[in-house]
Amino acid sequence: MTAIELHSDPLVIAGEAFRSRLILGTGGAPNLDLLEEALTVSGTEITTVALRRVDPSAPGSLFELLRRTGIRPLPNTAGCFTARDAVRTAQLGREALETDWVKLEVVADERTLLPDPVELLDAAEQLVDDGFVVLAYTNDDPVLARRLEDAGVAAVMPLGSPIGSGMGIRNPYNLAMILEAAGVPVVLDAGIGTASDAARAMELGCDAVLLATAVTRARDPVGMADAMRRAVEAGRLARRAGRIPRRLYAEASTSDEGLADLG
């Protein structure tokens, strides 16, 4: 698949097509200038944002940055522990950004930031009923992924490992089960530490990768944004091209035929 074919291999979520399969979050960037450069270099067409109390003294405007770059903002419900709070926060995000899309995040505790399955499913059902396009951050649990899809979410977004841990994909076996069963896009969300993690997610068959910390807290966020863009593209190309089977022993790529007798 050439670069041109890559462009004809769009990521489609809720009927909308995107060329980039990397969703880069805005969280954790040291300043807005670096964030803008990292977003631009990453090629991302969707970026996550949070909702917080307005701070009139904050330098620069994230809102203006997004308008300037044309990157679609995806409001999240980060910091919500209950379905009730997540639904309210999603409604506020819809008001602030005039979008029905939401990254639904309902976590169980501060220490792990792991999704709370019960609250998550409850919130997903309420938001779908309210007309939202829900992209659900979830555990790497095939059953929960199925239940979320049954509830009508537009994408399931299983974690590779806890948010910000950089531990990569801890359960590729569960992820394979999610991918095998899913009828909606699967976005690997959380746990990516470096480029090879992102490439691996795509090689395993994920439709996209969502990451923030791995870029925004890298020593060189712009350099890492470039690496992630290439890793996601490489992983996608490798998945499409088909990897060779793993085998225990060597298999010569050079033929023995015509080998000289030097004895």
Partner 1 sequence: MKVMAMRVTVNGEATDLPAGTSVADLIALLELEPRGIAVAVDGEVVTRRTWGERPLAAGERIEILSIAQGG
| Minimum CB distance to partner 1 smaller for 6 or for 108 | 108
CB of 257 to partner 1, least distance (A): 56
Does 47 qualify as catalytic in the annotation? no
CB 202 within 8 A of CB 178: no
Residue 131 touching partner 1 (CB under 8 A) = no
Catalytic-role residue among 75, 97, 102, 103? 103
Rounded CA-CA distance 174/206 in Å is 12
C-alpha distances in Å from residue 123, one per residue of 82, 107, 120: 8, 12, 5
- Shortest Cβ distance from residue 53 to partner 1 (Å)? 4
Quick check: 102 binds partner 1 (CB under 8 A)? no
* CA atoms of 176 and 197, how far apart (whole Å): 15
Cβ distance to partner 1 smaller for residue 73 or 185: 73
Give phi and psi for 37, each to the nearest 5.
-65, -40
Select 34 or 177, whichever has its Cβ closest to partner 1.
34
Of residues 203-222, which lie at the interface with partner 1 (CB under 8 A)?
Answer: 211-213
Is 26 a residue that touches partner 1 (CB under 8 A)? yes
> Which one of residues 1, 92, 118, 176 is an interface residue with partner 1 (CB under 8 A)?
92
Distances (CA, A) of 35 to 19, 62, 126, 195, 212: 20, 9, 33, 18, 10
CA geometry: angle 186, 148, 86, nearest 5 deg = 100
Give φ, ψ of 150 to 5 degrees. Answer: -60, -35
Q: Out of 29, 41, 151, 187, which residue is the one contacting partner 1 (CB under 8 A)? A: 29
Q: How far is the CB of 56 from partner 1 (least distance, A)?
A: 7
Bridge partners (DSSP) listed for residue 74: 48
Residues of span 47-86 touching partner 1 by CB under 8 A: 48-56, 61-63, 66, 73, 75-76, 78
- Provide, rounded to whole angstroms, the least separation between the CB of residue 205 and partner 1: 23
The 137-166 site mask, x for binding partner 1 (CB under 8 A), equals --------------------------xx--
Q: Which residues contact 255 (CB under 8 A, 6 or more apart)?
A: none
Residue 3, token pair as written in the block: 């670069």
Comparison of 51 and 121: residue with beta carbon closer to partner 1:
51
Q: Is 234 exposed, middle or buried (0-12, 13-18, 19+ CB in 10 A)?
A: middle
129: contact with partner 1 by CB under 8 A: no
According to CB under 8 A, which one of 11, 20, 25, 199 is a site residue for partner 1? 25
Q: Which residues pair with 135 in a beta bridge?
A: 103, 155
Q: Give the residues lining the site for partner 1 (CB under 8 A).
A: 25-29, 35, 48-56, 61-63, 66, 73, 75-76, 78, 88, 91-97, 163-164, 190, 211-213
| Catalytic residue set | 103
